[in-house]
Amino acid sequence: MLKIESNLKPEINLKTPLPGPESRKIIEKEEKYLATGTKCWDTPAVPSEGKGIWFKDVDSNTLMDWTNGMVVILAHSHPKWIEANIEQFQKLVYFNSPDFPNQLQADLAEQLVQLTPGDFPKKVFFASSGTESVEAALKVARIGTKKNIVVHWLGDFHGRTAGSLSTTASKSVQRLDYTFALGNTYALPYAYCYRCWYKMEYPSCDIYCAQIMERYFKTLIPPDNVAAIIFEPVQGEGGYVVPPLEFFDVLKEISNKYGILLIADEVQTCFGKSGKWFACEHFNVVPHIVCMAKGLANGAAMGATTFPSEYDFSRQGMHSNTFGGQLLSCASSLSTIKIIKEQKLLENVRRIGERFREKLLEMKDKYECIGDVRTLGVLIGIEFVKDKERKEPAMELRNRILEECFQMGLLMISCGESTIRITPSFVITAEEVDLGLKILSKAIEKSMKD
């Protein structure tokens, strides 16, 4: 068995200015050859190896990583996960899983059917990304119900391919010059209580943002033509927005009243980031369809969609792909599930999430620039404002804070208009949380003076 060795020490060690000379060479090459996407050019980390929540860049600088837990939920280079992948790599890498059966695909499908909420017969479609899992969900819902409209929410991010993009509404640039391909969807304001679209206050609002759907059904959207309502239980790209529990109570009522399917996009939240396997479990909602990716296979390319068996495709060939159920990804996902259970990592997520929450609320009281703190497990958003009374977004300040953190050895990224998102891996320790928050505090103080 191949043995993986790493000399990476779990401590911040900066040997060059960031980015260093070797990093700059790679950044310049990528700028020349890569299509414009979503690169963080303000904080251009160029990694060479990682261990736990730490990584070393190509200039031998060691930094703390609070970004890749969005996908690498077990952290970089988890030894048991690596062992499972090497074992599969030595057996078989690819054997056209969409066309031929295999044990790993069957076992993982069984596990996902058992783990996803809902005690009803389900089936699974395997994909290689989140946007593909959403495409499958939309297709299942529309074909299965023989309806064509999908309702979604402002602030949601579901992907960038045509179908999923038609339900994405977090940044208008994502649709720029491509609106001709989108249709049959309607976006309503989400339950973003800190920035209520209707200028109301929770809970006296009576969840107006969900109740208003009935008015849309009377004036604009024929409910008999609505196949599904798709939602993120916690909006990711939109700012790590955590809705109130009652929001989903209303959605359930509407779903039952009109026979509309509920699609939970758990691509960013799945496999425990909320402290439960799926974030929708916190809100007592059982979706008909669940979309998964990112942490599903701890970094291997994997997406999946579970849906009621009654909505299975009626004929072969109606939907398929090339890399769905790929052997390495299935092995990765199965080992991820096993490790989470064996090492009781969901308990650590809840424990660490509460530590983040307590300390960030203390920082909110201390700093005028922190308008809101939103947490659910290790789904953590810190929204920055110019002043707390007017709540004007402080995007430039947020960006300076991110840069200052990077220069001190802590890597984070943004979301929403002026929010920092923190998504550490499940193995992060209390000491590492405290160290990172000390850096964040220093960065805030320095940025406020500039």
361-374 average pLDDT score? 98
* pLDDT tens figures, 279-300: 999 999 999 999 999 999 999 9
> In which band, very low, low, confident or very high, does the pLDDT at 86 lie, cut at 50, 70 and 90?
very high
Q: Is the pLDDT assigned to residue 6 strictly greater than 80?
A: no
pLDDT reported for residue 182: 82
pLDDT reported for residue 179: 85
* pLDDT tens figures, 131-153: 999 999 999 999 999 999 999 99
Q: Is 8 exposed, middle or buried (0-12, 13-18, 19+ CB in 10 A)?
A: middle
Rounded Cα gap, residues 247 and 262, in angstroms: 13
* pLDDT tens figures, 229-276: 999 999 999 999 999 999 999 999 999 999 999 999 999 999 999 999
Using DSSP's 3-state secondary structure scheme, residue 290 falls into strand
* pLDDT tens figures, 297-319: 999 999 999 999 999 999 999 99
Q: Is the pLDDT assigned to residue 1 strictly greater than 50?
A: no
- DSSP characters for 394-441? -HHHHHHHHHHHHHTTEE-EEETTTEEEE---TT--HHHHHHHHHHHH
Look at strands 289-292 and 261-265 and give their pairing. parallel
Rounded Cα gap, residues 284 and 281, in angstroms: 5
Q: Is the pLDDT assigned to residue 4 strictly greater than 80?
A: no
Q: Which two tokens stand for residue 50?
A: 């990682």
Share of the chain above pLDDT 90, in %: 95
pLDDT reported for residue 82: 96
Report pTM.
0.97
- Cis preceding linkage at 19, omega within 30: yes
